[in-house]
Structure 1
């Protein structure tokens, strides 16, 4: 370890120095073991997908599988009438690996196949663990692996892509529900209809959910069965490659929501009892099943499991050109309790031996691998406990993630809206919550992700407006509604104060930028398998007769403003003023001044702040009519600071503004010659 920067940056970690060093040394030990004492690279080790699974070699077809508990294995499919035939029986190479060679003319593109495995006192059909294409029969609903060897496979046009991601502005999306039709959307529809919106709106990254194949659509992609197969619900592997390539042509990075924290319990479709044993990929005994998610928990202590998962990371980077990963369920991986019932009251709770050292080691190895393959790759940890060091470099004592999700922020907004009256929104509390983060780690701030939109919860707009949005968002049949006015105003203010205080990036779930109505509810028995709430109604944002356009316009201008500032997220963030009584907050980032009046009823005239002497111009105003505001502020007015001898030494002057109730504005400092101005007045 070059230095313990993690501890230098946080003295409270000093008592746990040995634990942090031990964590790093264990990572080095495992890396050395996996690479055969560094005789090969970690990337070489993580190339299992090039060996296992089905491959079209020059000499014919080659198939390999890891199944240590199996006694006999057959390849079955429509090419042999799903029969166990001698010429399709795999041979055991050693105690754990099986292999089969077939002539070229045996298999064809789109053929279906499975394995029939036998073990002591049992047998079963299985989809190969390394299958790269899995499809579901529309009539029987049965899943099978599929040969995918098109004559003209997709060729990437953008082979050395590197997006501008400072700041990282993420548009979280789900391909299936990105259509406005009551069905599953496709990769091609996303390319045609959604990517152009994202580009126009200024986001520089998309984070795609539910890519890895999952049997139950309603799991939102979090019950993965086939880790190397892109979900066929949305189209073909070539379609997904075209989507990523097209995004790259628009300078949009593509992040994959990867699920390595657990796996679906399915046995025929997934990895559950793949070779008849309970512990091939997963823990034995009580640790095998996740107590809340009804899924299986990987045993990260097994080298074969590390081989599988690390190879999975490399596969998506190399085969599909993803630009990185958002790792789901990191808290569940870090703790043997999966974080359930954990109460973090002191640093000791992060180092109390309830942590899973093998899982921590895997996450560190994964970050090392990903950034070795692509030094510009993006990794994000979804972690709620606040574990120190997640987004700190490995050689400084950290786990190596680039960012961590600021999961406290959406919870804070929900709690504030639910439990506090508008007059009890305290600016200092808002400021502290939005800026409460570790100084040595970059975070992704957000008001709401897909989590807050799921059935059983409510989006921010629905919490603010509720059922009145069904009748009150029309511009044709105008009905004065204080609830609608309040909801639109707060929706903009909440987003602006969250996005403008970032120290890494900002995230939005698709549709939430324009206040998409209602919740997300995937087809299930309880809703008669309806797709009504598992789609995005884009026409709401495009309809000039509806007020959704105001939120849509504001989000676009807000994101474009942030993206227009070089390294916006790294500019110094300094609070200028807060007043609990007035409910006013002001802060600056270099030449930009952000002013918020959270007061629901009181407007202020000539409200003053001390700022750097200069001329200031309003560049964003939530009260602008184009954003559904009342137009009480003239954005064309230039604001000049006024001299005060008391603050001469501090080189500060008064900036005095009109602040309408429940509004926010952004002003930019403009260079000007003060002497010349006074001379011209003479």
Structure 2
């Protein structure tokens, strides 16, 4: 009985790969259980292994099926792709490629397209065929019609390995989903799930781009986690790392003995700071590999969005380089034109293939048009992390309250550029690692001030224009900075201060999701109006959010340690404003001594500025209040009521 030892793969199959147009490369390269015809008219089932190694002299397939001895692979003419069919082998088969480079040296490599891998320190690839049956059709149908910029988005970022140390994907599908749903977040964002060998990299140095890490279970177990989140009404964002990859000798680097995935010139092909290689975005096959990878996570694992890591490092040829250490583009500039083209291509393709998907840039410079559509000469991302807002606001809360008056601009400056992009406000893992300390310990003085300030700050964040993201542990004020070596300090989560903060997040998420004024016009200047922006001496900020169809929420903040018992404020409409949030409430471990008895009354002509509606309010020390305009209560307002 004879059959095609290349497993039926032909040069025609690789034409799109060579032109950069194959965006489903995982269906062709890698390991696939297939049934092929035999010479006698029958069929035979086994696994076809295929790999791109255009500069190799020879390639062997090694694995447990041949006692790691080596079966010759066959080169498909004109493609640089090698293939080999092995009969009667399927899921859970371990394998690698042994590649002889132009220099004659044999190197053992993991499969770049592997969909399942051994966990470190082992490095073999594993044949895997998904058997998962999804139950999230309703979620996917809703996602396709979503208008993300006009909808609520509060994101809980987490590291799967240390949220609760030791949990598997299946266990997380029970415990994590229950917790996130109770807290009320709309999305989770997983730090990179792709296989990686070095635990302290948190997944940002990927060796298996198409394989969810086997540390926590099998690929279908990860599918179950995503599916369960969707059924609970929670979206899933995945960190994606196309900016660089590690130099591990068994992985992508110098794959066929040459600079294949990376640039050969270290001025273009290496991040000296990170000790990693940079992808060659101008090579068609590399572009196909990366675009396929982005689409793979969305198509095969139903991921709702990709947060693209370190975009700035991709955009600039001189990123973190001194003069003479970089190569200008063809026009003599510093922009990486090939990377820009790649990002535009990826974003456009994913939005076309999966309407409603979220493409998010972690871009730390002022590169223009990050969230502008590709057809308007932008990069085509849906959202961008607002790093300027993050840096300024953290600098502000780190000041002693008596000194904040001299840094008032740090909390107002973000409105100068708030509508230049579609922003997400991130307080991510990057802000609580490497000696930066935890969020609660950034605030000076005693615990009363620390926790009160944290409550006020997060209320400020949740009502500021833009979507929100926090990192795990912030919701209950963990005191230690993040470490992948241990889980979160759950034993403190219900203690005084910690438990109050956790309850505040739950209530803020509930209010946020139910108040369109807080999110519907995040990307539109019509949704925001200052009502107190220049009270530096009082450390007070206040604004009104609106959805444009009558709903209004006034948000007031006092970052001084003194109460503002009779603070005069202008409000855009006369009548009753219900107090829907007070961070000083005993429910949040506040004092409960400062509030507005449930409502504030604004009257025409009572504005401190002599015109419009005005009111007198109480803003707690190191506290925040949200007031919602209640049109239905206006007609019942007694004529002799006081201002507050």
Provide TM-score, normalisation by structure 1.
0.82
> Would you say 1:80 and 2:66 are equivalent positions?
yes
2:9 matched residue in structure 1: none
Tell whether 2:471 aligns with 1:487: no
Are 1:300 and 2:291 counterparts? no
Evaluate the alpha carbon distance shift between residue 186 and residue 101 of structure 1 in structure 2; reply closer, same or farther with a 3 A threshold: same
Whether the 8 Å CA contact 1:435–1:501 is kept in 2: the answer is: no
Match of 1:537 in 2: 489
Higher mean alpha-carbon deviation, 290-299 vs 449-458, is at 449-458
Evaluate the alpha carbon distance shift between residue 461 and residue 353 of structure 1 in structure 2; reply closer, same or farther with a 3 A threshold. same
Q: Is the 8 A contact 2:237 2:304 kept in 1?
A: yes
Asked if 1:176 is matched to 2:161, the reply is: yes
Q: Distance in 2 between matches of 1:676 and 1:461?
A: 43
Cα RMSD after superposing both structures: 2.6
Gaps of 5+ in 1: 1-34, 343-350, 466-481, 523-530
2:253 to 272, 275, 292: 272
Deviations 1:3-44 (Å, cap 9, x if unpaired)? xxxxxxxxxxxxxxxxxxxxxxxxxxxxxxxx99xx99x996
Do the aligned residues in 1 keep the contact of 2:418 with 2:465 (CA within 8 Å)?
no
User: Corresponding residue for 2:33?
Assistant: 56
Instruction: Tell me the secondary structure at the aligned position of residue 137 of structure 2.
Output: coil
CA distances 1:274-319 after superposition (whole Å, capped 9, x unpaired): 1111244434343221011110001101111101101111111111
Task: Please say which of residues 92-101 and 428-437 is displaced more in the overlay.
Answer: 428-437
1:449 to 407, 428, 432: 428
The Cα offsets for residues 375-426 of structure 1, whole Å up to 9 and x where unpaired, read as 1100100000121100011111211100000012232233234455544246
Does the CA contact (< 8 Å) of 2:401 and 2:561 recur in 1?
A: no
SS of 1:45's equivalent in the other structure is: coil
Matched, 1:259 2:206: no
Alignment counterpart, residue 556 of structure 2, candidates 578, 595, 602: 595
The answer to whether the aligner puts 1:498 opposite 2:461 as a matched pair is yes
Instruction: Identify the residue that residue 77 of structure 2 maps to in structure 1.
Output: 93
Question: For residues 211-252 of structure 1, what are the alpha-carbon distances to aligned partners after superposition, in whole Å with 9 as ceiling and x for unaligned?
Answer: 111110110111111111111111110111001111110111
1:136 to 119, 135, 139: 119
The Cα of 1:521 is off from its aligned counterpart by 2.7
Q: 1:599 to 1:45 in 2, by over 3 A?
A: same
Q: Does 1:671 align with 2:631?
A: yes
Q: Distance in 1 between matches of 2:272 and 2:483?
A: 23
Residue 549 of structure 1: how far off its partner (Å): 0.3
Match of 2:137 among 159, 167, 173: 159
For the residues of structure 1 that align with 2:567 and 2:266, how far apart are their CA atoms?
A: 68
Q: Aligned to 1:172, what secondary structure does the other structure show? A: strand
Query: Does structure 2 retain, via aligned residues, the 8 Å contact 1:607–1:659?
Result: no
Shift of 1:373: 1.3
- Corresponding residue number in structure 2 for 1:396: 376
Structure 1, residues 308-356: CA drift from partner, whole Å, max 9, x if none? 10111111111111112000010000000225579xxxxxxxx981010
Equivalent position of 1:102 in the other structure: 86
Q: What is the CA distance between 1:95 and its match in structure 2?
A: 5.0
Shift of 1:513: 1.2
Question: 1:583 and 1:445 mapped to 2: Cα distance?
Answer: 21
In structure 1, the residue matched to 2:506 is 556
- Check the 8 A contact 2:51/2:83 in 1, yes or no: yes
- Among candidates 108, 112, 135, match of residue 125 of structure 1: 108
Aligned to 1:585: 541
| Corresponding pairs, count | 592
SS at structure 2 position matched to 1:70: coil
Shift of the 622–676 alpha-carbon distance from structure 1 to 2, 3 Å rule, reads closer
Report the CA distance between 1:674 and its aligned residue. Answer: 5.3
* Distance across 1 between alignment mates of 2:213 and 2:553: 44
- What CA distance in whole angstroms lies between the structure 1 residues aligned with 2:285 and 2:454? 48
Distance in 2 (CA, whole Å) between partners of 1:646 and 1:214 is 60
Q: What SS does the aligned partner of 1:499 have? A: helix
Q: Counterpart of 1:58 in 2: which secondary structure?
A: strand
Paired residues for 1:141-152 under 5 Å? 141-149=121-129
Structure of greater relative contact order (alpha carbons < 8 Å, 6+ residues apart) = 1
Q: Give the equivalent residue in structure 1 for 2:55.
A: 69
The alpha carbon displacement at 1:636 in A equals 3.9
> How far apart, CA to CA, are the structure 1 residues paired with 2:390 and 2:635?
48
Deviates more, 1:92-101 or 1:65-74: 92-101
Contact 1:621/1:635, CA 8 A, preserved across alignment: no
Q: CA deviation at 1:634?
A: 4.6
1:550-584 deviation digits (Å, cap 9, x = unpaired) = 11011111122111123632331100123122222
Q: How does 1:320-399 map to 2 (within 5 A)?
A: 320-339=301-320, 353-399=333-379
For the residue of structure 2 that corresponds to 1:148, the secondary structure is coil
- As a proportion of its length, which structure holds more helix? 1
Structure 2 residue ranges without an equivalent (≥5): 1-13, 37-44, 324-330, 522-526, 547-551
